[in-house]
Amino acid sequence: MGKTRKRSRKKELLGLAFDVVLAAVPAVAPIPAIARWIIWFACFVGFLVIVQLLIDPVNRVELKWRVVATGLLAVTFVAGLWPTAYSQWRQEMARQTWGKLVATEELPDVPPGHYQIQIGTVGAKFNFPSSKHDPWQIFGDTLTFGGDDNGDVLFSTVIRDRVTGNRIVEIDRNVWHVSNQQNVCWDKNYSRSVLEVLDGRGNVVLQVRLFKNGVQLQGEWHDDKGDGLRLVQYGPQGPQSAVYRFVVGQEDPALPDITRSFRYPSDEFWSEQTH
């Protein structure tokens, strides 16, 4: 009986050592925040169970009470550390340099069998057949739409820096990638269906909200000479108040900047929109 108990304690001590080593891994390895905290939670529960087996007075307590105590301590762990875990996850999401836009709504009043581009939220609207769409050619780059198997919009475009011509952001069939160089992209913010990107000056160069049957879009496209086109809504709020304007060479001083729709910096305000 004594030998059996010895072997059992040895296994429990090995289990405890393994539990401690496993808990240390997320602290040194680049593991996503969700996976890191799942591992730590599992290790905490494992630690409680092993300690109960190792300490004889605790082990002699009726099983149901040990289960209750373990559950209460697990809940305390989650409640106490949830704010830290949630903050780490938000910062991790804010620092992502790629993602995918997913449409959850439809634009109203779009003719059946058509997609729509709307400039901003109140601006000019362009409808075109979903069966055929000729890409918009903008200073050597294109703005294109297609449809997936469900008929939902697949949107693609490239936004370049007006001085160097380097890519600030590229969207390929709703999958976006932004530059991680701060002099090219100062920051960006996003939610499930919306992406906003700021250039190195901190100006909005792309703002897109994806719908199942179109997009609301503002942005500016440049070639490597600095010439470009800006699509922007401006003027009194109303259905006819937004237009698109060309900017070639020197910008028109009367042309407004695109208004930010997210709060910044994104590390602190990830996915939080101002309007």
215, 152 contact by CB (below 8 A): no
Residue 70 is assigned to a structural domain of this protein? yes
Regarding whether 52 and 12 lie in a shared domain, the answer is yes
What phi and psi, each to the nearest 5 degrees, are found at residue 111? -60, 145
Regarding whether 176 and 90 lie in a shared domain, the answer is no
Residue 274 is assigned to a structural domain of this protein? no
Nearest 5 degrees, angle CA 229-CA 115-CA 156? 50
Residue 8 is assigned to a structural domain of this protein? yes
Regarding whether 193 and 80 lie in a shared domain, the answer is no
Regarding whether 145 and 80 lie in a shared domain, the answer is no
Report d(CA 90, CA 217) in Å as an integer.
26
Residue 260 is assigned to a structural domain of this protein? yes
Regarding whether 187 and 109 lie in a shared domain, the answer is yes
Last residue of a domain, one of 94, 113, 144: 94
Q: Is 136 exposed, middle or buried (0-12, 13-18, 19+ CB in 10 A)?
A: middle
Regarding whether 221 and 118 lie in a shared domain, the answer is yes
198, 236 contact by CB (below 8 A): no
pLDDT recorded at residue 233? 81
Regarding whether 249 and 150 lie in a shared domain, the answer is yes
Using 50 as the pLDDT threshold, list the residues of the chain that sit under it: 1, 238-242
Between the CA atoms of 181, 268, 233 and 201, what dihedral angle is there, to the nearest 10 degrees?
A: -30
Regarding whether 192 and 72 lie in a shared domain, the answer is no
pLDDT recorded at residue 247? 52
Residue 242, helix vs strand vs coil: strand
Last residue of a domain, one of 94, 109, 136: 94
Token pair recorded at residue 246: 């060309």
Name the one residue in this structure whose structure tokens are 């009043």: 109
Residue 229, helix vs strand vs coil: strand
pLDDT recorded at residue 195? 98
Residue 142 is assigned to a structural domain of this protein? yes
Residue 275 is assigned to a structural domain of this protein? no
pLDDT recorded at residue 40? 94
pTM for the complete prediction? 0.83
* Packing angle, helices 33-54 and 2-28, rounded to 10: 160
Token pair recorded at residue 203: 């100006």
pLDDT recorded at residue 241? 44
Token pair recorded at residue 121: 């939220």
DSSP character at residue 251? P
Its domain, for residue 224, covers 98-269
Residue 214 is assigned to a structural domain of this protein? yes
Domain count, the chain: 2
pLDDT recorded at residue 131? 77
Last residue of a domain, one of 76, 94, 112: 94
250, 153 contact by CB (below 8 A): no
Regarding whether 86 and 10 lie in a shared domain, the answer is yes
Regarding whether 104 and 179 lie in a shared domain, the answer is yes
pLDDT recorded at residue 240? 45
Regarding whether 90 and 153 lie in a shared domain, the answer is no
pLDDT recorded at residue 190? 98
Four-residue CA torsion sign, 246, 250, 256, 260: positive
Regarding whether 85 and 122 lie in a shared domain, the answer is no
Residue 165 is assigned to a structural domain of this protein? yes
